[in-house]
Amino acid sequence: MPVDPQLRNLDIEIPTQPEVLVKLSLLMAAEDIDLQAMSALVETDMALAAAVMKAVNSSLYGLRGRVQTVHQALTYLGMREVAAITFEMGLRAAFPAAAELESVWARASQRGLLMGRMGQMLGVDPWASHSAGLFEECGKAVLYRHAPAHYPAMLRAATRDAELVELERTAFGVSHDALGAALCESWGLAPAAVASVRHHVEIQGSLTMPDNLARRSVAAISTVAWALLNHPDQLDEIASQIAPQAQLDETLVLRAARRVNEQLQAAQEHGR
């Protein structure tokens, strides 16, 4: 999809989607997904395949035996989570390595996994949920690449994303949530994922869905995941406010969030 012309006028470059991810998106969109073709595709990029193997064998996934091939990873984890890891590595590769972005990528990995599994439990598109979690903060990487001398100071100065977007708008005329949504659109992510990335800062700050937001379930899962990772003591309250706005059952949302969180914690403890 084309990038918003207003963003192009700001002279902030949106990186193009790597070719391997374009092909992977086509495979993911097929009715009958060919696991062999997917594993072969990832393995054509040696650096990407190595990064995927490193991620799959991390404590985050809690696999008991070491995975040796992409095909094994697909067998043990399933195509969605391996595809998400591939997208994560492809996204990181589109930007320069920077210590200031490491926390962004770490949160993306954990949030994507959390949201994808919650979406699966709640009957909400798990691929859209997972990709929304992965790409939620990607606009920060866009701005870092655009202004590496100045943007790190903004990241350090802001204690909340609501403060950060104000600094960004003053300095650049655009904020990372809008840029992230533009990147999601240009990379062909699902509209529900794009909407979640575009509105996540606003929803987290107000706990109110915008009136014009048509696709709400993924955005609701994003907000609950944010609460779980940043304000676990307020999880019940936040879920009770946000779930009804997306026609989701509050009890089921809380159950899914806690269950997935327990799974991830157990995996990390097992990997120590």
Domain boundaries, the chain: 5-14+100-270, 19-93
CB distance 23 to 1 below 8 Å: no
Q: How does pLDDT run along the chain (272 residues), one tens digit per residue? A: 344 454 444 678 899 988 888 888 888 877 777 888 888 888 888 888 888 888 888 877 777 778 888 888 888 878 888 888 889 888 998 998 999 999 999 999 999 999 999 999 999 999 999 999 999 999 999 999 999 999 999 999 999 999 999 999 999 999 999 999 999 999 999 999 999 999 999 999 999 999 999 889 999 999 999 999 999 999 999 999 999 999 999 999 999 999 998 888 877 676 54
Question: Which CATH code fits 5-14+100-270?
Answer: 1.10.3210.10
**Amino acid present at 150:** H
Kindly provide the b/e burial profile for residues 70-89, where b requires at least 16 CB atoms within 10 angstroms of the residue's own CB.
bbbbbeebebbbbbbbbbbb
pTM of the model: 0.88
